Amino acid sequence: MYRVYRVHQRRLLPFSCIQTGITDVMRLDKFLSQQLEISRAIALRELRARHVTVDGEIIRDGAFKLLPAHQIEHEGTVLPQQLGPRYFMLNKPVGYVCSTDDPDHPTVLYFLAEPVAYKLHAAGRLDIDTTGLVLMTDDGQWSHRITSPRHHCEKTYLVTLTTLPDDDTAEKFARGIQLKGEKSLTRPAQLTVVEGCQVRLTISEGRYHQVKRMFAALGNHVVALHRERIGDILLDNTLEPGEYRPLTAEEIASVGVPG
């Protein structure tokens, strides 16, 4: 059966696409460029060399419009289409930064075996020496509800200190701590002693190096910091350092829901 095309807004779209009103389409050369992380010119070269098939048919036209149901292969390897925003949790190990590109340190993107992973970003970064829960997404509005100071999203950390906390540390944290160089106190925080020099701290702000500076203001020092929770999303205890998984629908929906 021949594929029928119609001219639609000066572009060629499959007739079925026009009938169903589907507009979320992408040019094949752009898709290859993103998936293979190559230039458009090289993508066109791959097409002309007959290295690309769509639903088993060799396609040489870079302007070919992809639909969500299409299966694309490059030299026999299936290239999955990205349909909609993506959400993951990662158990971040020490030694990695949460930026998408860093000339001096490896980034958390190293662990994400996902198509066009460079489009993902961390919704709330961790320092290079901090471990634990990092949420990765390409949904900017969703991550904004986590990082925006207006939303006061809670984060819980397991903190290891150099010395035992004073008996009144939890009370001081609940009242707010005056950080060096800042005018206002921190928002009330919840602190409980786990054992010895290890405490669990929940804060609802994201000031620069906040947890470390809060303890430093009381004369203590953080030697290890591990994030366990963001909002209602708990780090999956089955994930080893460097492992990740997609968020569940419930976890995704929990962000931005009033507590």
Give the active site residues.
Answer: 127
b/e per residue 188-213 (b: at least 16 CB within 10 A): ebebeeeeebebbbbbbeeeeebbbb
Long-range pairs for 249-255: beta carbons < 8 A, 24 or more residues apart: 251/87, 251/89, 252/87, 252/142, 255/142, 255/145, 255/146, 255/153, 255/231
DSSP string, 143-198: HHHHH-GGG---EEEEEEESSPPPTTHHHHHHH--B-TT-SSBPPP-EEEEEETTE
For the chain, the first-to-last Cα distance in angstroms comes to 56
User: Residue 145 in contact with residue 255, Cβ under 8 Å?
Assistant: yes
* Strand, coil or helix: 222: strand
Q: DSSP of 77-91, one letter per residue?
A: EEE----S--EEEEE
Side-chain half-sphere CA neighbours of 224 within 13 A = 12
Let me know how many helices (H) and strands (E) the chain has, helices first.
Answer: 7, 17
Give the whole-angstrom CA distance, residue 187 versus residue 1: 66
